[in-house]
Chains A and B, each alone.
Chain A
């Protein structure tokens, strides 16, 4: 096997076969091949009966691409010696494989074949494994003499059939496994059937499970996000209540001292709000978090509509207060922007301030506008409107537009 027989070895064998001297045989063989190689160059064609045809053929210029650089270059035309073996010799050489015919195959079979080839390369599939060693066994047969080669040929054919059946069986198995994978999604990894699948498929399975978990987390996150306004409203409700308290404090205290105090409760409320918002953000990973949130929902819902509007005003509240604070500062100089528009003529009503009420509220009650409170302040000569005490009696002037 795989020995290189050189001239002298060939001549020796020929001498044994033809009963001639070794020197004559060597001379003959040398001449034989010399003539072929010389004549094929000169005449371009040498036919040897029983061996084949040596032919000189012209190769045209052709374009090729450098694999490393991707550059295109032309392979210049050249001459080439081709050899076509004699039909009889060809058949005799191919005798070990002569029993095989070209078979028409369906698409699925072709795919299964190519798939099997890949798996053979990987050497990971156990069920097909017995079929694999048969393949390399086939090319060894040409070494065997013609008669014994006949029998293994047939058996080889049978083996091929078996192989095909094995392929089909494997395909069916794979399909069944895929269906199971779809059904059981996450659990498939642990099921014993998966043991048959190659490692490649195992990783694929893992990926599927991961994707499933991720989507579930996403869905839970979305649900929580939808629920957030409801939960958030309840939080804002608390904020508003606290702000009301702050409002009351503000009435008794100066604006300057209240301002930081006002910010403090808001921050204090924001802090729990943050913790609350943080909780649902973490909870998506935990599935039971969802049902826990749901019972809270109906409890909050009735409060939703009033809380919604209140929450809005509450949210604006600090801003408004800041405005009034600015106005209070301006009040010391007491420049009335609206003086131009209105003149104060007579007393419309007297009003006793209750706890938590400010001049703005009085203005809102009598004039329908909070902005007109400076007229009341001016009319009553109140120098520090932010420090009014409960029970203060104010005269509400009649406003007439100029």
Chain B
């Protein structure tokens, strides 16, 4: 399902125009981004948790050349599905 299909379905469900759906999605993502930048996580029942996690710096080695690289720390957006959703996968 690509973005277009997604927006269509969303607009159908909310009974709003496709354009409005697109802008609302943008707004929603913007709001969530602010939440993540505050260090908070978005937790939704039945869906899961979207949160930013910090990965520590590490030394990685290129297996072919043996060159050691210091990989800097980084912030990554992670998604953990809820147990309810996981149950449905089985």
Residues of A in contact with B (beta carbons under 8 Å apart): 1-7, 10, 13-14, 17-18, 20, 24, 27-29, 31-37, 39, 41, 43, 45-52, 54, 56, 78-83, 85, 89-90, 92-94, 96-97, 100-107, 110, 113-114, 138-139, 142-143, 145
Contacts of A81 in B (CB 8 A): 48, 79, 81, 85, 89
Q: Give chain B nearest CB distance to A5 CB in angstroms.
A: 5
Q: Are A31 and B10 in contact (CB under 8 A)?
A: yes
Number of interface residues of B (CB under 8 A): 59
Would you give the shortest CB distance from A17 to chain B, in whole angstroms?
5
Contact of A50 among B9, B25, B45, B71 (CB under 8 A): B25
With A14-B28, A54-B79, A78-B90 already in contact, 17 other A-B pairs whose C-beta atoms are closer than 8 Å: A4-B43, A5-B35, A32-B10, A33-B46, A37-B46, A47-B1, A47-B2, A48-B6, A52-B77, A82-B79, A83-B50, A92-B33, A93-B33, A93-B52, A100-B74, A105-B68, A113-B70
- 26 pairs, CB–CB < 8 Å, chain A vs chain B: A1-B38, A3-B41, A4-B41, A7-B45, A10-B28, A10-B32, A13-B34, A14-B28, A33-B46, A34-B13, A35-B6, A36-B47, A39-B6, A48-B6, A81-B79, A89-B77, A93-B36, A93-B52, A97-B75, A100-B72, A102-B71, A106-B68, A110-B59, A110-B70, A114-B59, A143-B39
Say whether A50 contacts B29, CB under 8 Å. Answer: yes
Interface residues of B in 62-81 (CB under 8 A from A): 67-79, 81
Residue on B nearest A107 in the bound complex, by CB: B68
Question: Please, which residues of chain A bring their CB within 8 A of the CB of B34?
Answer: 13
Q: Which residues of B contact A18 (CB under 8 A)?
A: 23-24, 27
Does B40 belong to the interface (CB within 8 Å)? yes
Q: Are B76 and A6 in contact (CB under 8 A)?
A: no
Report yes or no: A10 in contact with B31, Cβ–Cβ below 8 A: yes
Q: Does B37 contact A (CB under 8 A)?
A: yes
A-B complex: 8 closest residue pairs judged by Cβ atoms: A100-B72, A83-B79, A49-B3, A1-B39, A33-B47, A4-B43, A85-B77, A3-B40
Is B45's CB under 8 angstroms from A143's CB?
Answer: no
User: Shortest beta-carbon distance, B17 to chain A, in Å?
Assistant: 13
* Contact, CB under 8 Å: A39 / B89: no
* Set of chain B residues within 8 Å of A96, measured between Cβ atoms: 75
B76 touches A139 (CB 8 A): no
> How far is it, in angstroms, between the C-alpha of A110 and the C-alpha of B54 when the chains are bound?
22
Q: What residues of A have a CB within 8 angstroms of the CB of B50 in the complex? A: 83
Q: Do residues A105 and B70 form an inter-chain contact, with CB atoms below 8 A? A: yes
B19 proximal to A (CB < 8 A): no
Query: Are A104 and B76 CB-contacts (below 8 A) given A47-B1, A93-B52?
Result: no
Q: Which residues does chain A contribute within 8 Å of B24, judged by CB atoms? A: 14, 18, 20, 28
Please tell me if the beta carbons of A5 and B54 are within 8 angstroms of each other in the complex: no
Q: Cβ of B45: which chain A residues have Cβ within 8 Å of it? A: 6-7
* Closest Cβ–Cβ distance, residue A135 to chain B (whole Å): 9
Closest chain A CB from B26 CB (angstroms): 6
| B71:A13 contact, CB within 8 angstroms | no
Residues of A within 8 A of B13 (CB): 31, 34-35
How distant is B21 from chain A, measured CB to nearest CB, in Å?
8
How far, in whole Å, are A113 and B47 apart by their CA atoms in the complex? Answer: 40
Given A35-B13, A43-B1, A104-B67, answer yes or no on A10-B42 (Cβ-Cβ < 8 Å).
yes
What are the residues of chain A within 8 A of B6 when measuring CB–CB? 35-36, 39, 46-48
Q: Least Cβ distance of B4 to chain A in Å?
A: 9
Q: How far is the CA of A113 from the CA of B72 in the complex (A)?
A: 13
Chain B residues whose CB sits within 8 angstroms of the CB of A46 once the complex forms: 1, 6
- Report how far A5 CA is from B41 CA in the complex, Å: 6
Closest B residue to A99 using CB positions: B72
Residues of B within 8 A of A142 (CB): 37, 39, 52, 54, 75
CB neighbours of A20 from chain B (8 A) = 24
- Bound-state CA distance A275–B67 (Å) is 68
Q: Which residues of B contact A28 (CB under 8 A)?
A: 10, 14, 16, 24, 28
Task: Assess the B3–A47 pair: CB atoms within 8 A.
Answer: yes
Contacts of A43 in B (CB 8 A): 1
Q: Could you tell me the distance between the alpha carbons of A52 and B76 in the complex, rounded to whole angstroms?
A: 12
If the complex has contacts A46-B6, A103-B70, A105-B59, are A14 and B89 also in contact, measured as CB distance less than 8 A? no
**In whole angstroms, how far apart are the Cα atoms of A234 and B41 in the complex?**
92
Q: Tell me, rounded to whole Å, the shortest Cβ–Cβ distance linking B36 to chain A.
A: 6
